[in-house]
């Protein structure tokens, strides 16, 4: 398999990138907080499998530990390819330390889809914490993106080690559903966009990741230049089969509900800049560790999936404007030869990981509405399986109205953590405090140092950047995601097997 050194440095769920905070800027930014612990002890070490860990404990420590699970790290990325990480962003970390909370997290022994290694490595980090500082009064699991699925996996696999969990922008549909959904979009892209070049495009069993990605990206960029609107309509259909939102740049205004051309242009940006590196190249890393193809589309009815898609209105409008037959294109996709998975590879991915929905502790999830990499419909998939298990009383979900993957401000993250801490302290959810107006007021009260987001250019929507950051008001809102298109949970795994 080719190495990925030339791929874009896509790090799934790294909040430094989501915030636009570079590692060089992080210390200066964290130092802007007035309140800081009198002393923080930092301990690092290495686990038996080679994973490293980092622990920070303030003095005084209040007895609560936050165990952070970081996101996807691109294989063979340089420099510093796989560091131990104990918090998503330095501003939130400074707030937690200054309020007496300890932080911990590991690097995981491998990069890529490292759930198999991450789960025991995070428990190893807890064991190292216990040996050095004693057993915490309570441990809260939290993490971004791939770290979100790891967080949910930790509390499912090791429920006795945790009191609560905060998965953020998490892959909560589980691994099988996520990669099946990616295959659906790839498959439609091959059938409708690639043309003769599609014969060289590898959807699964990828042997040439870099060349495969280059082919797909070139095809998408050329399609976007089509002056007839036909290729854009087909790109919108591809995006709809993955529920990709039509909003790309954080801090930009969301395109109007009926501005379908702008929505499609944003979806193409998601594809070329973010999604395609995963589905057309990094899929190979997962296939290598799983021992084969993990995805299938046998039996999928693309007519039905499109009707369920959050983007259905957009696709229908763009096809009409381009004088294209949506029915004919869907029939072409539906009639194409399908792809079967390797059963052993599916078992690996289902074990790493799918969800049974059973909760034994409070769980609060948070997601941006304009996330095109880990779409907010992941939250519906998770809430659905939790409801079926009868544990909805323990789950609450909040949403932020912003484009971007894990594109939260520190104030929004801190507010989510405070909400979960209050749930632990009181023993019940305060649903009034979970309303967007209350969450926004709580986040705003943290002040200007926490209500910031990395500038996307030389200007900010309001005002000018200060030290590279825009003043950004909190944006919690009431939101109900559409149904996840290709759900696959633990019960389905047993049936499928």
The pLDDT tens digits of the residues spanning 100-112 come to 999 999 999 999 9
- What mean pLDDT is predicted for residues 250-271? 98
pLDDT band for position 458 (cuts 50, 70, 90): confident
pLDDT in tens, 45-62: 999 999 999 999 999 999
Residue 134's pLDDT band, with cuts at 50, 70 and 90, is very high
Mean pLDDT of all residues in 264-293: 98
Confidence of residue 196 (pLDDT cuts 50, 70, 90): confident
**Tens-digit pLDDT profile for residues 356-370:** 999 999 999 999 999
* Residue 479 predicted with pLDDT over 50: yes
pLDDT beyond 90 at 274: yes
Q: At what angle do helices 260-270 and 209-224 cross, to 10 degrees?
A: 160
The residue extents of the domains of the chain are 15-172+355-484, 175-348
Mean pLDDT of 120-133: 98
Q: Which of 9-18, 215-224, 486-495 has the lowest mean pLDDT?
A: 9-18
Lowest mean pLDDT among 66-80, 154-168, 409-423: 66-80
pTM of the model: 0.93
Please say if the pLDDT value at position 121 is more than 60: yes
Mean pLDDT over all residues of the chain? Answer: 92
DSSP code of 253?
A: P
Residue 115 banded pLDDT, cuts 50, 70, 90:
very high
- Asked whether the predicted pLDDT for residue 14 surpasses 60, the reply is no
Closest CA to 34 of 99, 104, 103, 101: 99
Q: Which own/partner pairs from 23-32 qualify as long-range (CB within 8 Å, at least 24 positions apart)?
A: 25/467, 25/468, 26/89, 26/90, 27/90, 28/467, 29/90, 29/91, 29/467, 29/469, 30/90, 30/91, 30/93, 30/94, 31/94, 32/91, 32/449
Q: Is residue 78 predicted with pLDDT exceeding 80?
A: no
CATH no. for 15-172+355-484 = 3.40.50.1820
Predicted pLDDT of residue 198: 78
pLDDT of res. 166: 99
Residue 459: predicted pLDDT = 85
Note whether 40 and 97 are within 8 A (CB). yes
**Quick check: 494 pLDDT over 60?**
no
Phi-psi region of 108 (alpha: psi -120 to 50; beta: other; left: phi over 0): left
> Does 285 score more than 90 pLDDT?
yes
State yes or no: pLDDT of 19 exceeds 80: no
């Amino acid at each position: 398999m080719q190495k990925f050194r030339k791929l874009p440095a896509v790090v799934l769920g790294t909040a430094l990138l989501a915030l636009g905070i570079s590692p060089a800027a992080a210390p200066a930014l964290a130092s802007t907080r007035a309140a800081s612990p009198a002393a923080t002890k930092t301990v690092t070490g290495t686990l038996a499998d080679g994973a490293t860990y980092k622990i920070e404990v303030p003095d005084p420590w209040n007895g609560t530990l936050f165990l952070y699970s970081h996101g996807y790290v691109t294989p063979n990325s340089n420099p510093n390819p796989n560091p131990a990480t104990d918090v998503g962003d330095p501003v939130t970390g400074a707030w937690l330390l200054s309020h007496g909370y300890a932080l911990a997290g590991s690097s995981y022994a491998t990069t890529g889809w490292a759930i198999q290694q991450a789960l025991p490595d995070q428990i190893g980090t807890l064991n190292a914490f216990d040996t050095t500082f004693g057993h915490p009064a309570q441990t809260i699991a939290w993490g971004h993106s791939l770290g979100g699925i790891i967080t949910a996996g930790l509390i499912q696999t090791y429920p006795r080690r945790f009191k609560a969990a905060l998965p953020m922008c998490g892959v909560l549909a589980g691994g099988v559903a996520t990669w099946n959904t990616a295959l659906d979009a790839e498959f439609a892209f091959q059938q409708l966009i690639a043309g003769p070049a599609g014969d060289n495009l590898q959807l699964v069993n990828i042997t040439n990741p870099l060349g495969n990605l280059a082919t797909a990206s070139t095809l998408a960029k050329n399609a976007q230049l089509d002056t007839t609107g036909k290729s854009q309509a087909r790109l919108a259909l591809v995006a709809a089969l993955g529920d990709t939102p039509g909003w790309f740049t954080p801090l930009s205004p969301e395109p109007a509900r009926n501005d379908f051309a702008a929505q499609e242009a944003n979806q193409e940006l998601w594809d070329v800049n973010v999604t395609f590196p995963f589905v057309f190249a990094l899929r190979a890393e997962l296939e290598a560790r799983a021992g084969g193809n993990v995805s299938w589309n046998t039996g999928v009815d693309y007519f039905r999936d499109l009707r369920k898609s959050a983007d259905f209105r957009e696709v229908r409008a763009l096809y009409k404007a381009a004088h294209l037959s949506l029915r004919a294109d869907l029939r072409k996709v539906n009639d194409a030869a399908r792809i079967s998975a390797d059963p052993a590879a599916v078992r690996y991915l289902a074990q790493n990981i799918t969800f049974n929905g059973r909760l034994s502790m409070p769980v609060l999830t948070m997601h941006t509405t304009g996330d095109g990499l880990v779409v907010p419909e992941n939250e519906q998939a998770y809430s659905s399986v939790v409801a079926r298990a009868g544990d909805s009383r323990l789950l609450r979900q909040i949403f932020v109205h912003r484009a971007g993957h894990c594109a939260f401000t520190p104030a929004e993250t801190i507010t989510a953590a405070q909400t979960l801490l209050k749930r632990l302290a009181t023993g019940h959810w305060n649903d009034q405090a979970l309303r967007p107006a209350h969450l926004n007021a709580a986040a705003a009260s943290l002040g200007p140092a926490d209500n910031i987001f990395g500038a996307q250019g030389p200007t900010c929507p309001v005002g000018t950047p200060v030290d590279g950051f825009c003043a950004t008001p909190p944006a919690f809102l009431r939101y109900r995601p559409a149904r996840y298109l290709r759900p696959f949970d633990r019960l389905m795994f047993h049936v499928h097997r």
